[in-house]
């Protein structure tokens, strides 16, 4: 837990998050500024800034939850696909320094471009 990390505050319950799934080591919640309806984030519960710093167990927990959630998120908003991605590092656009995987529902009407 990092005191000044917004995602740690959601994990601890100090600030509200719209949680969609939880396991022992990972949490999924809706993005506050969604790129599309149903845009969800999957995070390790342990504060970790970069993907390469995740331990093997935490990594498995995060990606297992991503794998489980993909069909659920897609069905929940009747999407036709999802973009699943990570901005790893500030230079890559990472704004919140706590590893998170974006699940962004996509629709045929989007036109297919990222
Ligand atoms: P990044 O650019 O770091 O990959 O993405 C950070 C994401 O976190 C953004 O999509 C942003 O909308 C989301 N976000 C930032 N602050 C909050 C917050 O307080 N609550 C939630 N649920 N999402 C947040
Ligand atoms: Zn954190």
- Taking the C-alpha atoms of residue 24 and residue 58, their distance in angstroms, rounded to an integer, is 10
Q: What is the pLDDT of residue 110?
A: 84
CATH architecture for segment(s) 6-110:
2-Layer Sandwich (3.30)
Q: Report the residue among 83, 90, 95, 97 best suited for mutation to probe ligand 1: largest number of ligand atoms under 8 A from its CB.
A: 95
Report, as an integer, the average pLDDT of 76-91: 97
Indicate which ligand has the atom closest to the C-alpha of 42: 1
Mean pLDDT of the chain: 95
Residue 51: φ, ψ to 5°: -55, -40
Residues 20-68: tens digit of each pLDDT: 999 999 999 999 999 999 999 999 999 999 999 999 999 999 999 999 9
Q: Kind and range of the H or E element at 40?
A: strand 40-44
Q: What does the pLDDT read at residue 114?
A: 64
């Amino acid at each position: 837990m990092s005191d000044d990390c917004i995602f740690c505050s959601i994990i601890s319950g100090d600030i509200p998050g719209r949680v969609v799934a939880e396991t022992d080591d990972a949490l999924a919640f809706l993005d506050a500024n969604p790129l599309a309806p149903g845009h969800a984030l999957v995070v390790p519960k342990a504060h970790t800034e970069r993907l390469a710093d995740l331990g093997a167990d935490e990594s498995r927990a995060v990606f297992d939850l991503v794998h489980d959630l993909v069909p659920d998120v897609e069905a929940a908003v009747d999407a036709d696909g999802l973009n699943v991605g990570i901005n790893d590092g500030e230079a890559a656009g990472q704004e919140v320094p706590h590893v998170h995987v974006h699940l962004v529902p996509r629709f045929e009407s989007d036109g297919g471009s990222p």
